Structure 1
Amino acid sequence: MIKALVFDAYGTLFDVHSVGKECNKIFPTKGDAISQSWRKKQLEYFFLRQLIQRYKPFNEITKDALHYACKENGVELSNEDEEHLMEAYLKLDLFEEVEAVLDQLSNKKLVVFSNGSKNMIDPLIEQSSIRSSIDLVISADEIKQYKPTPAAYNHAQEQLNLKREEILFMSSNPWDITGAKSFGFRTAWINRKELVSEELDIQPDAIYGDLSEISEWVEET
């Protein structure tokens, strides 16, 4: 029996590329490219820092990635523009189905588990329409170990005080699903980009195009 539904935030609940609207206002014609590069380097930097054991909080990594994205696209980032875009990351759009799905799952414990530092993830959820639906927010920054390390998922389990198989973890990020499944969580990959399955010996329990099918899966379990 699933007792807690745990959601990744960036790319799963919130559209990280909705920040592209603000990028385009500042850098017309290059905003979308900057948004794509920003997210790519954000992921690369926390993976790299985890491997070389030189941890930085997610907000600092996000800022570093923004600087790289602007440099890659040949634009100058002023202090004012940096502040504006970092603020925009605290106001990302929810994916269309998220609010309704969480309303339908109100009888379950609903949790957000993110690599985002608390000074990023807490304001993001607080300004959103799902803030009253979320029972708990867990940040990997609390132990300075990013997902997909086993230590990160172990931290989430300890916070929930549940057995691994009692937790359904959902993410749009294949690496996150692989890490959670390897740790022992039940997993549902929210494959928003219709990617092909990874060539690994660890596969999710379910694959969906968005979160709207999760309620059916939970009822069946």
Structure 2
Amino acid sequence: MTTIKGIVFDLYGTLYDVHSVARHCSEYFPGRGLEISMIWRQKQLEYTWLRSLMGHYLSFEEATDDALRYTCSHLKLPLKEDVRATLCNEYLKIQPYPEVPAALAELQAMGLPLAILSNGSVRSIQSVVNHSGLEGRFAYLISVEHVKVFKPHPDVYALAEKTMGLHRSEILFVSSNAWDASGARHFGYPVCWINRAGGTFEELGQQPDHMVSRLDELPLRLGEVVSR
């Protein structure tokens, strides 16, 4: 990592906890919040992958809406339109993991430009980041909207390289999603996988260059490697 000149983060599940919406789901469906959130997130991802394969892009907000409709239909839970709108809106206000604000501040202090590269739309990325008060930490907020295809398509990963004006070998890509880390590594980024759940990395022909369990482990890891 001695040549690293910038860091790019995934947003959903990496910096921000997608399951922070579970509490709001429980308000409308008592005792079912986490169950709803888990299926909702999985279908949200599946729909972005399938839409990309179909060559039929739609916004992340629409994919999120479709996934919630599926989830409630699958669980046989009645979904009123006002509840649907309220819960989808919560995805625009998901919360960062507890260690993220301080870790970002420490990384920014190292003089490295920080960026987000996300499946989210421009609107959704800005909403999530601004709501958490972390907008000042990022030099770039990059959305797949510009290429109208979702991760792990290589056109998405190319966006960060073009936007930051750095070669892919100089950009550390950080994600908690193993499929996303695999896509970024295949593209040519050095990758740090945040293995929050102690999981198993995907068998997609790639391995992360670095693995941490929390984001606040990254500044020390980065500093150790650079100082060698």
Contact 1:99 1:129 in 2 (8 A): no
2:205 alignment partner, one of 195, 201, 206:
201
- CA displacement at 1:23 relative to structure 2: 0.2
- CA displacement at 1:135 relative to structure 2: 1.3
1:56 maps to 58
2:130 maps to 126
Contact 2:182 2:202 in 1 (8 A): no
Q: Secondary structure at the match of 1:55?
A: coil
Q: Secondary structure at the match of 2:104?
A: helix
Matches within 5 A, 1:1-221: 1-106=3-108, 107-219=111-223, 220-221=225-226
d(CA) in 1 for partners of 2:4 and 2:28? Answer: 45
Q: Secondary structure at the match of 1:138?
A: strand
CA offsets, 1:4-37, max 9 Å, x none? 1111000000000000000000111112111111
Q: Aligned pairs, how many?
A: 221
CA offsets, 1:145-174, max 9 Å, x none? 211111111122111110111100000101
Residue 217 of structure 2 aligns with an amino acid whose one-letter code is E
Contact 1:110 1:136 in 2 (8 A): yes
**Greater mean alpha carbon deviation, residues 78-87 or residues 194-203:** 194-203
TM superposition score normalised by structure 1:
0.97
CA offsets, 1:71-117, max 9 Å, x none? 11111111110111111111111101100101101121010110001
CA RMSD of aligned residues (A): 1.0
Contact 2:179 2:202 in 1 (8 A): no
Contact 1:33 1:73 in 2 (8 A): no
Q: Secondary structure at the match of 1:111?
A: strand
d(CA) in 1 for partners of 2:36 and 2:201? Answer: 27
- CA displacement at 1:198 relative to structure 2: 2.5
Identical amino acids, percent of aligned pairs: 41
- CA displacement at 1:197 relative to structure 2: 2.5
Q: Could you list the runs of 5+ residues in structure 2 that have no partner in the other structure?
A: none
TM superposition score normalised by structure 2:
0.94
Q: Could you list the runs of 5+ residues in structure 1 that have no partner in the other structure?
A: none
Residue 24 of structure 1 aligns with an amino acid whose one-letter code is S
d(CA) in 2 for partners of 1:32 and 1:202? Answer: 31
Which consecutive aligned stretches of 4+ in structure 1 deviate over 3 angstroms post-superposition? none
Q: Secondary structure at the match of 1:105?
A: helix
